[in-house]
Amino acid sequence: MTAGQDQARKLIVVGVDGSPQSVEALRLGRRLAELTGCRLKAVTAWQFPVLRSDYPAIDWNPLEGPEQVISETVHAAFGDDVPPDMERVAVRGQAAHVLAEESRGAEMLVVGKRGRGGFKGLRLGSVSTAIAAHAHCPVLLTHHEPDPAD
- Using alpha carbons only, what angle is made at residue 120 by residues 99 and 13, rounded to the nearest 5 degrees? 15
Read off the pLDDT of residues 54-101 as tens digits, 9 standing for 90 and up: 655 555 555 567 888 999 999 999 999 999 999 999 999 999 999 999
Read off the pLDDT of residues 10-63 as tens digits, 9 standing for 90 and up: 999 999 999 899 999 999 999 999 999 999 999 999 887 655 556 555 555 555
Residue 122's identity, in one-letter code, is: L
The predicted structure's pLDDT at residue 47: 80
Query: Tell me, what DSSP letter sits at residue 42?
Result: E
Q: What are phi and psi of 14, to 5 degrees?
A: -125, 125
Higher pLDDT, 130 or 146: 130
Q: CA-to-CA distance for 72 and 17, rounded, in angstroms?
A: 10
Read off the pLDDT of residues 94-135 as tens digits, 9 standing for 90 and up: 999 999 999 999 999 999 887 444 444 444 568 888 898 899
3-state secondary structure of 89: strand
The predicted structure's pLDDT at residue 113: 81
The predicted structure's pLDDT at residue 33: 96
Whether 15 contacts 95, CB under 8 Å: yes
Question: Is the model's pTM score more than 0.75?
Answer: yes
Residue 18, burial from CB neighbour count under 10 angstroms (0-12, 13-18, 19+): middle
Buried b (16+ CB within 10 A) or exposed e, 48-78: eeeeeeeeeeeeeeeeeebbebbeebbebbe
Q: For residues 131-146, give the mean pLDDT.
A: 86
